[in-house]
Amino acid sequence: MDTKENILSIALDERWKKYRAEIKTCKDEFSEEAVHDLRVATRRLLAAMDVVRLLDPHSRVQKVRRALKDQLDSLDDLRDTQVMLVEVSESMADFPDLKSFEEHLLKREKKLMRKARKEVESLAIAGLKKRIERSGESLEENLQGEDWTARLLSAGDQAYARAVQAFGQIEADMPASIHQFRVAFRKFRYTVEIVHPILENYPETCLEQMHEYQSRMGDIQDATVFLSTLSEHIDETESATRLAPVLHTFENRRTELIAKFMEAKDELYRFWRETPDSKYPWEKNHEPVHHSTRNRRGGGNARVRRRQPAPVDRQGQKEDGEDRTGFESIEHGD
C-alpha cells in the first residue's frame, strides 16, 4: 500500500503521537496554554478516529471515541470561562460595571483549573494506546488491496451530507441551530483535512476558507454562552438595572454576528461535491470565496490570546489553535 493510499494510517499515527506529547506537557507544566493545546490535539485525534470508524467499525474504535469525547467535555466549562474572561477584559474600559462579572468568572476559573489539573494528572492512556494501535494495525490488515481512495472520499461525502442536513435546519433566530450545524461542519472540515491529499487539483485555499467559515459560527456560539452566563449572573446578583445596558449591547453584537454569517452561509457549497457522482466545485472552475482576516479589538490587557478554530492540519504540520474563537468585536453604539 503506497503512502497516498495510506494517509489515514499516517494521520492516525501522527495525531496519536501529538496527543501523547500534549498530555505529557500538560502534566509536566500545567497551564491554560497547555490545556488549550491538549484540547486541540484531542479533537484532531478524535477526528481521525471518526474516519477510522467509517472504514473499520469495530467496537474498540467507539470506545476510543467515547474516552476522547469525555476528556473534551470535562474541559468545556474551563475553556468557555477563559474565553469569557478575554471578552470581559477587552470590554472593561467601555463597561466598568462588568467588574463584578469578571470577579465571578475568575473564581470559577480558579475552581475549574484545580479540577482540570486533577483530571489531567489522573489520565491513564495505556488502554487507549492499545486500542488505537490495534485500530491502525486493523486498517493495514483488513483493508489492504481495497480501493482506499474511494472509501476515504466516501467518508468525506458522508461527513458533508451530515453537514448539509444540519445546514438545512438553520434558523437565524435560533442560535442553537447554528451551533448544531457548526458541530457537523467541524467534523466535515477535519475529515477533509485528512483526505484532501488524494484529491487532484485540490485548492489549498479551501482549507483556509473552511477555517474562516467555521470561526464565524464560533463567534456566535461564544456570544451565546457569554449572554447566558451574564444573564445568570444578573439574576443571582439582582444587578439587572446596572447591567441591563451591557446585556443589551452584547445581544446586539450577537445579532450582527448572526447576520454576517447568514449573508455568506451558502459558501458551504464551495467546499465539497453535492453528491458522490458530482464534480467538485474546483473542477467547475469555481474559486473558493476569500474573506479577509477579521478585525478584532486590540488592547494592553493580559488576556489577549483569542481562540481560533484549529488552523488547517496538513498531516501534522500545524496543530496549534482551538476549535472556537471568542466572538468578534462590533463597535459600540447604534
Q: Please state the rounded mean pLDDT for residues 194-200.
A: 90
Element (H, E) at 234: helix 205-237
**CA separation (Å) from 53 to 5, 46, 152, 216, 308?**
17, 10, 11, 29, 27
Which domain range does residue 160 map to? 7-284
Q: Please state the rounded mean pLDDT for residues 125-130.
A: 88
Domain containing 128 — which CATH number?
1.40.20.10
User: Of 74-78, 113-117, 257-261, where does the model show the most confidence?
Assistant: 257-261
Domain assignment present for 275 = yes
Q: Give the model's pLDDT for residue 315.
A: 44
Domain assignment present for 322 = no
Domain assignment present for 323 = no
Domain assignment present for 78 = yes
The C-alpha cell that represents 197 in the structure block: 491529499
What letter would DSSP give residue 5? T
**Residue whose grid cell is 473534551:** 72
Domain assignment present for 127 = yes
Residues 66 and 214: their CA atoms lie apart, in Å, by 24
Query: How many domains is the chain built from?
Result: 1
Per-residue model confidence as pLDDT tens digits over 39-98:
989 998 998 998 888 888 888 999 999 999 999 999 999 999 999 999 999 999 999 999
Q: Give the model's pLDDT for residue 188.
A: 95
Domain assignment present for 147 = yes
Q: Give the model's pLDDT for residue 285.
A: 64
Question: Which of these, 291, 300, 255, 276, lies nearest to 92 by C-alpha position?
Answer: 300
pLDDT exceeds 90 at position 309: no
Residues 305 and 102: their CA atoms lie apart, in Å, by 17
Domain assignment present for 331 = no
The model carries a pTM of 0.81
Q: Give the model's pLDDT for residue 238.
A: 81
Q: Please state the rounded mean pLDDT for residues 244-249.
A: 91
How high is the mean pLDDT of the chain? Answer: 84
Q: Give the model's pLDDT for residue 143.
A: 63
Domain assignment present for 108 = yes
Check if the beta carbon of residue 88 is closer than 8 Å to that of residue 98: yes
